[in-house]
Amino acid sequence: MSTSSTTTNVAVPPSPAFSAGAHVPSMDAYESQWKRSIDDPEGYWGEVAADSHFFKKWDRVLEWKLPFAKWFAGAETNVSYNCLDFQIENGRGDHPAIIWEGEPVNDDGTPKDTLTLSYRQLHARVCQFANALKKQGIQKNDRVTIYMPMVPELAIAMLACARIGAPHSVIFGGFSGQAIADRLVDADSRHIITTDGGWRRGKVIPLKQNVDEACKLVDGKVDKVIVLKRCENEIQWEADRDVWWHEAIDGMSEDCPAERLDAEHMLFLLYTSGSTGKPKGILHTTAGYMIYTRHTAKHVFDLKPDDVYWCTADIGWITGHSYIVYGPLQNGVTNVMYEGGPNYPDWERFWQICDRYKVTKFYTAPTAIRAFMKQGAELPKKHDLSNLKLLGTVGEPINPAAWNWYDENIGGGRCPIVDTWWQTETGGIMITPLPGATPTKPGSATRPFFGIDPAVVDASGAPVPPNESGLLVIRKPWPGMLRGIYGDEARYRKQYWTEIDGCYFTGDGARCDEDGYFWIIGRVDDVIKVSGHRLGTAEIESALVSHPKVAEAAVIGYPDEMTGEAIAAFVTLKSGFEVDESLKQELKQHVGSTLGAIAKPKDVRFTDALPKTRSGKIMRRLLRELATTGHVKGDITTLEDLTTIATLNSEAS
Ligand code: WT7
């Protein structure tokens, strides 16, 4: 997706009022700290880490043997301790940590279910659940799968795992039973935490049912399923495997000392899509991730003790891990958490929530902003958004029109906007404005965070001149970086460290302008971003060919006004099967049940053959062109079968 055609290069500085009170109040302050962080990373990060709690100090800030980093080697710490105990020690015990509201509403529009937990109360619940986990046989190093809606118990479960040193693997509630099964097997995880269901757009999502299906698929490999009661819906029960959350915590002590964990102890796995094969388990460890999320959250959102911070992401994605759970809690702020859809019961829900809890910092995705834009500026106007001080965006390039709409209609023209570029792999925000310092240009993620050394290079690794597009790489290790792909060192090396010699390869295309501002163009591999959700074309293709009528399938992303990119599938059928409209629906449904609703193609097209090069590679460029413009021009001389394109062209018109 290109953002360049409608952008201006005029940078607007933050208001003097915002800068005056900000952690980083000027570009000079930013430049000098950034330079220091690059020239002396060990000195810089050592000083930053001194503000966190360690049971034992590190021997060395960084040990770097490309592509393997050890940050704070030799140290012992615990992320759950830093999010909870350390906050209480610092006088934050009675401060609200989480303000939650569920989706269902009463007749007068107020939420049916709400819960506020102070840091002390959250601590007690985490300890109690951590003891319950131990009682259920979960030990340090056991991978625990978590598949839950956005309820406080999701954060409690993660913090309880972190407390006892059991790495969590959170799976987004939109994924199917098959997707859960694949992740269970890859992580060799024998324990699942789930709920009977979750509310989404007025309906119950049958989470427990999906877990049951996954358990069946992995055939007896799951020892325990802990089930939180959320929806009062009917579920199946396996008495020797399933245990209710409320029964598991019954009688458990609210005291559970945090394990002293090695700095490089595995904190979590988070599965994400790559260009080939099945999703990969991105591995993050303890101390580096902890320091990086704390430090980025503080500076990017300019967090202050009284902030009421709301990130609308789902915790099933990295954004929720880093900027709902671990980053904000380490900063002792109040987190707003909401269970359901932005349009339930109507499109005012988000603005009601901002108004009700006096939200000061708000972080969402471009897709959501575009959806709000479509509903009109009247809706946010009906609510008091005057407490907002800062707005953030993440997940995909933001088009300047959406940026400007967000600025005017949500931020009232007075809030800095932070367009934050990062990835599941990076653990935290990498390229971003610092709100009190960086003049912003709509559509640009602007400048690197402290300690981050990005560059735009060509295929040989040579930096390209300003304003020319190339590949985005990171030239130095950083504390929040992934430590590997779980169980697959070769893929880790190949995916991230061999494309451009000596650098971390992001998979994104970008350009850098004459002011050193980065403009992210989008993925250069076969990863697509649909509503900010990351999907691999290969996994959707294999879902399609698992349908009995499908012979071959090619999936591409094409630009979509609302969702950024949309999925188009080109399908050939096995002989003897007829093309008809109902089969299109059937195939969309099939992808939905194999992977999850977020992976359903918007457009399915049938063709006699797929355009291929002589060596048998599918010519995706042609398919993308076809899906985007409706026809194909340009060089097709290497096509195996020119008639394919003729068929596709006539199909499209
Ligand atoms: C991909 C990573 C980072 C949390 C959510 C996504 C795209 C992310 C931006 C942005 C343009 C962005 C990139 C990246 N992306 N943020 N501000 N501007 N593109 O994490 O699911 O791992 O996806 O999202 O293409 O590679 P993810």
In sign, the C-alpha dihedral spanning 86, 90, 96, 99 is negative
Assess whether pLDDT exceeds 70 at residue 650: no
Return the C-alpha torsion angle 265, 266, 268, 274, nearest 10. Answer: 140
What are the angstrom distances between the C-alpha of 97 and each of 88, 129, 269, 439?
A: 11, 17, 24, 32
Residue-wise over 524-542: b if at least 16 C-beta within 10 A, else e? bbbbbbbbbbbbbbbbbbb
Q: What number is the average pLDDT over the span 618-646?
A: 75
Short-list 332, 307, 333, 297, CA closest to 387: 307
Assess whether pLDDT exceeds 80 at residue 470: yes
Atom of ligand 1 nearest to the CA of 393: 17
Assess whether pLDDT exceeds 50 at residue 2: no
Specify the pTM. 0.96
Å from CA of 363 to ligand 1 middle: 14
The protein residue with its alpha carbon nearest to ligand 1, atom 14, reads 423
Pairing label, strands 144-147, 191-195: parallel
Distance CA 502, CA 523 (A): 20
Q: Which of 269, 423, 440, 523 to mutate to test the pocket of ligand 1 (most atoms within 8 A of CB)?
A: 423
Distance CA 557, CA 555 (A): 7
Å from CA of 442 to ligand 1 middle: 17
Q: Which two tokens stand for residue 484?
A: 């590997």
User: Do 333 and 303 contact (CB within 8 A), yes or no?
Assistant: yes
Q: Which of 7, 326, 485, 508 to mutate to test the pocket of ligand 1 (most atoms within 8 A of CB)?
A: 508
Q: Which strand (E) or helix (H) includes residue 270? A: strand 266-272
User: Residues with Cβ < 8 Å from 302, sequence gap 6 or more?
Assistant: 18, 22, 23, 361, 389, 390, 434, 435, 436
pLDDT at 277: 76
Instruction: Look at phi and psi of residue 123 and say left if phi exceeds 0, alpha if psi is from -120 to 50, else beta.
Output: alpha
633 vs 491, higher pLDDT: 491
Atom of ligand 1 nearest to the CA of 322: 4
Distance CA 572, CA 647 (A): 12
Question: In order of start, what are the domains of the chain with their CATH numbers?
Answer: 16-510 (3.40.50.12780), 531-652 (3.30.300.30)
Distance CA 270, CA 168 (A): 8
User: Do 435 and 428 contact (CB within 8 A), yes or no?
Assistant: no
Pocket of ligand 1 (CB under 6 A): 272, 317-319, 394-397, 419-424, 445, 506-508, 520, 522-523, 529, 534
User: Do 71 and 61 contact (CB within 8 A), yes or no?
Assistant: yes
* pLDDT tier at 460, thresholds 50, 70, 90: very high
Provide the residue count of the chain. Answer: 653
Q: Which two tokens stand for residue 382?
A: 């009906």
Assess whether pLDDT exceeds 80 at residue 80: yes
The protein residue with its alpha carbon nearest to ligand 1, atom 10, reads 421
pLDDT at 3: 41
Helix/strand/coil for 253: coil
Q: Which two tokens stand for residue 432?
A: 């971003």
Å from CA of 157 to ligand 1 middle: 26
User: Do 397 and 528 contact (CB within 8 A), yes or no?
Assistant: no
Å from CA of 348 to ligand 1 middle: 26
pLDDT at 635: 62
Q: Which strand (E) or helix (H) includes residue 187? A: helix 177-187
Short-list 290, 268, 328, CA closest to 54: 290
Atom of ligand 1 nearest to the CA of 319: 4
DSSP 398: P
Å from CA of 375 to ligand 1 middle: 25
Residue-wise over 31-42: b if at least 16 C-beta within 10 A, else e? eebbeebbeebe
Cα angle: 162, vertex 166, 167; to 5 degrees = 80
Q: Which amino acid is at 546?
A: S
User: Do 442 and 8 contact (CB within 8 A), yes or no?
Assistant: yes
Q: Which strand (E) or helix (H) includes residue 567? A: strand 564-573
Q: Which of 431, 452, 520, 526 to mutate to test the pocket of ligand 1 (most atoms within 8 A of CB)?
A: 520
Distance CA 282, CA 481 (A): 10
Assess whether pLDDT exceeds 70 at residue 157: yes
Q: Which two tokens stand for residue 403?
A: 């940026």
Q: Which of 7, 171, 422 to mutate to test the pocket of ligand 1 (most atoms within 8 A of CB)?
A: 422
Q: Which two tokens stand for residue 53?
A: 């709690």
pLDDT at 641: 61
Assess whether pLDDT exceeds 80 at residue 645: no
* pLDDT tens, position by position, 357-387: 999 999 999 999 999 999 999 999 999 999 9
What is the chain's alpha carbon radius of gyration, rounded to the nearest angstrom? 24
Name the average pLDDT for the chain.
95
Cα angle: 371, vertex 374, 380; to 5 degrees = 85
Distance CA 222, CA 218 (A): 8
pLDDT at 640: 60
Å from CA of 33 to ligand 1 middle: 25
- Residue 90 main-chain phi, psi, to 5 deg: -90, 15
Distance CA 8, CA 468 (A): 16
Assess whether pLDDT exceeds 50 at residue 600: yes
Å from CA of 463 to ligand 1 middle: 22
- Residue 497 main-chain phi, psi, to 5 deg: -120, 5
Q: Which two tokens stand for residue 90?
A: 């610092």
% pLDDT > 70, the chain: 96
Q: What number is the average pLDDT over the span 106-121?
A: 97
Cα angle: 618, vertex 624, 627; to 5 degrees = 120
Partners of residue 8 on adjacent β-strands? none
Distance CA 348, CA 622 (A): 41
* pLDDT tens, position by position, 255-303: 999 999 999 999 999 999 988 778 999 999 999 999 999 999 999 999 9
User: Residues with Cβ < 8 Å from 474, sequence gap 6 or more?
Assistant: 426, 430, 452, 453, 454, 455, 503, 504, 506
Q: Which two tokens stand for residue 653?
A: 């018109």
Å from CA of 328 to ligand 1 middle: 20
Q: Which two tokens stand for residue 481?
A: 């970086």
Q: Which strand (E) or helix (H) includes residue 199? A: strand 198-200
Q: Which of 394, 505, 526 to mutate to test the pocket of ligand 1 (most atoms within 8 A of CB)?
A: 394
Distance CA 208, CA 177 (A): 10
